[in-house]
Structure 1
Amino acid sequence: MTERADHARYSAGAGFPRTGPARTVTFFPPARLRTRTVIDGDRVLVTVFGDLDLDTEQALRRTLATALERGPGGVDLDLSEVGFCDCSGLNVLLSARQQALGDGKAIVLCAASDAVARVLELSRTLPLFAPGAPED
């Protein structure tokens, strides 16, 4: 059984004696991650729409890896349309940055939503995505 199914059974009280009315558990599908990639000279602009979380991290990881392959100068990242970002999203961004640095490239954040800015500020990683950011 999947983790979500286990959670649904537990939340609904499956397997436990019921003392009150049955509860309905509603799960919403994870927000889809959409990206737009535009090659601009030696850099690639990646615009991300949706949420950056555990459900979308692999899609973002693949998108950024492909963008780094296509952009000899690196990647410009527009996250202004991201509605939610958690530590999974942050980890993908930091991993992609390390990959870029290893290839002599940079990932530069050109725009960020409040949700992304908050995570980057709280983790003190926002300066790592600025133009001319230190290599650690």
Structure 2
Amino acid sequence: MNPQTLRAGTSARSLTALASLLLAVGLLAGCGTADEAPADDTSASSSVASDDAPELSYEGVAGKTALELLVAADPTAIVQGEGENAFVTGIEGREAQESAKEFWALYVNGEMAQVGAGSLVTETGDEITWKLETF
């Protein structure tokens, strides 16, 4: 194997790893559409975490997705794509900055969600929190 082949292989592996990371972030941060009907009984609270990162929290409602509840809590939320390809990029007027490697992370009861917001069906009493984070 010559040095050029070695460099090309390393570069390809780096690109594959970066693409995989971005895909995982997209899946975790928000699958669904912004066109879904908002829930009627949603109360939300905004707060600033100790590290000054914005976040939005609201209570789950049985049978409603985290994305439905987000759109009800913040009708100005920015969602790119549809269905399984939806990705939440802005909440309460604060867009995640790609140049700063920011994304909106979804948490349920203090744990990072394992599915996107459009797939996450909440239960009454769940604490849903969106936090602006970096990768």
Q: Taking structure 2 as the reference length, what is the TM-score of the superposition?
A: 0.31
Higher-helix-fraction structure: 1
Q: Taking structure 1 as the reference length, what is the TM-score of the superposition?
A: 0.31
- Structure (1 or 2) with the larger CA radius of gyration: 1
Q: Select the structure with the greater relative contact order (CA < 8 A; seq sep ≥ 6).
A: 2
